[in-house]
Amino acid sequence: MLKSYEFPNDFWWGTASSAAQMEGNDAMDGKGKSIWDHWYEKEPQRFHNGIGPQRTSQFYQHYKSDVLLMKELGHTSFRFSISWSRLFPEGTGRVNPKAVDFYNDVIDELIKAGIEPFVNLYHFDMPFLLQEKGGWENREVVSEFSRYARTCFEYFGNRVSKWFTQNEPIVPVEAGYLYDMHYPNQIDFKKAVQVGYHSILASALAINEFRKIGEIGKIGIILNVTPSYARSQHPADQKASRIADLLFNRSFLDASVKGVFPSELVQLLKDLGYLPKVRKEDLIIIQENTVDILGVNYYQPRRVKAKENLPHPQAPFMPEHLFDHYEMPGRRINPYRGWEIYEKGIYDILINLRDHYHNIECFVSENGMGVENEERFLNEEGVIEDNYRIEFIKGHLKWVNQALTEGCNVKGYHLWTFMDNWSWLNAYKNRYGFVSVNLEKQSERTVKKSGWWFKRVIKENGFME
């Protein structure tokens, strides 16, 4: 017997993207250099097949036709980010008027198409000149971010009612200061903690600027709230799970939603000797500027267990000195990305938000499946039959639907991403989009089977299975 999965009529259906991954590096129109532009110039071999940010899907040139395609696929909303280094080529100082024109046009085109713009201010793309000053390590850069945010609100706030300060701010902490995956390629836990703290402060200051302007909508943050599952009920495994949750989830989640840092986290960092430099007035700013709305990015769970071997005594301190990662036997996995597929994780996140975070208004702001060499699945009509993506989305939407029936305040679902885009070090290795992009002919887009399927889901506000 078929079961119906129905969603509210005003559910936010759409996709998510980021400036650095989609726009293209159009320096000729005044865009300044970001850390990605610099790093690619410095070490192009670090990027898959040597493809850097100049080879993105050229939304900057083709945004009008891309928005029309979103409309054709039924989008009711679309999240994109503003490039800080496009709007402020030096990270501060003068505003680039061509950037203002571009983002004004994108917002107007979306609204004309009946698609609500969700605008994010920061998605891993620090202006290089500010990174030269230390990036998020430097309190001065935090202040520059609040000025950048206010400028965006002033230019675009009359037409945008959903704003987000940052996307996955824990990722620059991890990838840039612990695991050598993002610029500035440092491995320094002390700096990582300071970067995390300053990122949270920057978000709160941006929210403060937003509220000074007056009622122009809602503002939030987008977090990858990855559930930390313990290997067993043994107290040592449970402790490992709590520590991972404190470091990677509650650090940003509690500060953003509740305005305070977990006391257990503060004590842990104090015991380790890694408390960041904190000003008392900053803690007040964080406390008084919590988010209105929360974006939840979910791809895979985190599974951990108690440490089984002591780390090398001279190795730099890492979170993994406190717990080990655990590969659950029998887990389903996406072999191309190496990530576990565990749909119930999104339900567990939403229930946690309901029970422990005031049931804050939220939405699934990213969820998706990256697959390599999708051309293998082309049919005779030239359409990629990505049934695996359809099943992936269905599996997660079922659990979102279950959370809705149990009172969770979840308002929408955005897939990562609309069209295949450049993905940091992986470049175009794995494709995530509803729409495939011809890398040789950047204007050529082809809707995949999943895109047409999702259009029906949006039209019917659900599906049957």
Q: Could you list the active site residues?
A: 168, 366
Residue pair 389/380 in contact (Cβ under 8 Å)? The answer is no
**Residues in a beta bridge with 278:** none
Per residue, the 3-state secondary structure of 323-361, as one string, reads: CEECCCCCCCEECCCCEECCCHHHHHHHHHHHHHCCCCC
Dist CA 318 CA 411 (whole Å): 36
Residue pair 394/7 in contact (Cβ under 8 Å)? The answer is no
Chain centre distance of CA 64? 24
- Determine what percent of the chain falls in helix, strand and coil, rounding each to the nearest 5: 45, 15, 40
Bridge-based pairing of strands 430-431 and 371-372 is antiparallel
Under DSSP, the state recorded for 458 is H
Residue pair 252/167 in contact (Cβ under 8 Å)? The answer is no
Cα dihedral 297, 300, 306, 311 sign: negative
Residues constituting the chain: 465
Q: Give the closest residue to 53 by CA, choosing from 30, 27, 29, 79.
A: 27
Dist CA 111 CA 76 (whole Å): 10
